[in-house]
Amino acid sequence: MPLPEKALIAQIRRMAKSSTRGRALGSKGPIFTGIGDDCAVLRLLPGQETLVTTDFTLEGIHFRRDWHAPESVGHRCLARGLSDIAAMGGEPVAAFLSLALPRDLPQSWVGRFARSLISLAEKFGVTLAGGDTAESPNGILADIIVVGTAPKGKSVLRSGARPGDRIFVSGELGGSAAAVLQMRIKPKKKVKPRDYPRHFFPEPRIELGRILREKGIASAMIDTSDGLSTDLAHLCEESGVGAELDAALIPRARVGKPAREVDLDLALHGGEDYELLFTARPGKRIPSQIAGLALAHIGHITRPRLILLRNLKGIAYEFEPRGWEHFRR
């Protein structure tokens, strides 16, 4: 019997070759020559810097097979990496997938996973340029690597925030964590992906990130993968500043059926929304939306290295980032 990973190599190679081998992705894009070689070869244009990000997607940690369809796992796997590129204001150009599969995994699971991942890649003009496959001793293990570009010196870093900058976030928060909460509370009840799209099929904010970089709006930026409180703490740490947030201004996701607004705690601490959290200099005019996404002004950067939250009663207190714990028991 052929091992699943053998079939997978063939399948992914076929899909990747037929759609993108040797293709120049418009005038901005790179050319690939090395698919099927020891390394992928990328020819990037001069004047660009290269962005690289890697993210695990592990069964039992980042997803559960009984909760997530293979399409969702494939989509989320790549979306995590694309979101990191968005958070730099970059353009994604190539993805690499390292995938280890248990021997007994049905081939159909792999096909559905791969098709969904490749479909998201195509949507963003990203070439699946290589990777590695192996047999997994336990569970499905994926690691996605995304390579992107930005004009030299123009990537938006976490470290650019200064006291007085205003803090903004795109879209709504807490929608992804709300799905996890539902599945935890009622493990038997099927949670419908269409009621929680931000959890099952998050959309990386590539266009928003690029516009924020091109127009020089964002002084610092990060994506909300770990949750607002944790990601804001990362941004503040790298910038050497503090922040004050206003709870009343935090955009809370409306999820479920009938749709209702998530609790403040989920919006503050829930991870995997993949929105963009950024700062802007005081004088900068910020549109109320960009690329169809609402931008909410939720607070400002301070000199003291503390993170304060002004709660719904208007009282400010220091608050601790709470880690996003995925599906940890």
The reply to whether 239 sits near a second copy by the rule CB under 8 A is: no
In whole angstroms, how close is the CB of 223 to a second copy at the nearest point?
6
- Contact region with a second copy (CB under 8 A), list: 19-27, 48-56, 161-169, 251-259: 48-56
Amino acid at 248: A
Torsional sign, CA 279, 284, 287, 292: negative
Residues near a second copy (CB under 8 A), total: 60
Rounded to whole angstroms, the Cα distance separating 100 from 107 reads 13
Using the rule CB under 8 A, which residue among 11, 49, 256, 264 binds a second copy?
Answer: 49
Rounded to whole angstroms, the Cα distance separating 80 from 57 reads 9
From the list 103, 126, 227, the residue with the least C-alpha distance to 176 is 227
The reply to whether 96 sits near a second copy by the rule CB under 8 A is: yes
Comparison of 222 and 266: residue with beta carbon closer to a second copy: 222
Residue 63 per-residue DSSP state: B
Contacts of residue 79, Cβ cutoff 8 Å, sequence gap at least 6: 120, 201, 202, 203, 204, 274
Using the rule CB under 8 A, which residue among 20, 127, 136, 229 binds a second copy?
Answer: 136
The reply to whether 44 sits near a second copy by the rule CB under 8 A is: yes
Q: Residue 233: helix, strand or coil by DSSP?
A: helix
What is the bridge-based pairing of β-strands 254-255 and 242-246? unpaired
Following DSSP, what letter does each residue of 285-302 receive, concatenated? ---SEETTEEEEEEEEEE
Using the rule CB under 8 A, which residue among 9, 25, 41, 308 binds a second copy?
Answer: 41
- Contact region with a second copy (CB under 8 A), list: 52-60, 248-256, 278-286, 300-308: 52-60
Contacts of residue 14, Cβ cutoff 8 Å, sequence gap at least 6: none
In whole angstroms, how close is the CB of 90 to a second copy at the nearest point?
7
- Contact region with a second copy (CB under 8 A), list: 189-197, 219-227, 253-261, 300-308: 219-227
Residues β-bridged to residue 279: 167, 220
Comparison of 68 and 252: residue with beta carbon closer to a second copy: 68
Rounded to whole angstroms, the Cα distance separating 224 from 321 reads 13
- Contact region with a second copy (CB under 8 A), list: 68-76, 120-128, 133-141, 305-313: 133-141
Contacting positions for a second copy (CB under 8 A): 33-34, 36-44, 46, 49-56, 58-62, 84-85, 87-88, 90, 94, 96, 98, 100, 129-132, 134-139, 141, 143, 145, 147-148, 150, 152, 155, 157-159, 221-223, 238, 328
